[in-house]
Amino acid sequence: DVKVTQSSRYLVKRTGEKVFLECVQDMDHENMFWYRQDPGLGLRLIYFSYDVKMKEKGDIPEGYSVSREKKERFSLILESASTNQTSMYLCASSTPGDRWASGNTIYFGEGSWLTVV
Partner 1 sequence: DAKTTQPPSMDCAEGRAANLPCNHSTISGNEYVYWYRQIHSQGPQYIIHGLKNNETNEMASLIITEDRKSSTLILPHATLRDTAVYYCIVRVHGSSNTGKLIFGQGTTLQVKP
Q: By the criterion CB under 8 A, which residues form the site for partner 1?
A: 2, 4, 31, 33, 35, 42-43, 45, 48, 50, 56, 58, 88, 90, 92, 94, 96-98, 103-111, 113
- If the CB atoms of residues 18 and 100 are measured against partner 1, the closer one turns out to be 100
In angstroms, the CA 114 to CA 111 distance is 10
- If the CB atoms of residues 80 and 105 are measured against partner 1, the closer one turns out to be 105
Q: Do residues 95 and 102 make contact, with C-beta atoms less than 8 angstroms apart?
A: no
What's phi and psi for 85, nearest 5 deg? -100, 5
Half-sphere exposure of 111 (CA within 13 A, CB side): 10
- If the CB atoms of residues 16 and 51 are measured against partner 1, the closer one turns out to be 51
User: Least distance from C-beta 16 to partner 1, angstroms?
Assistant: 27
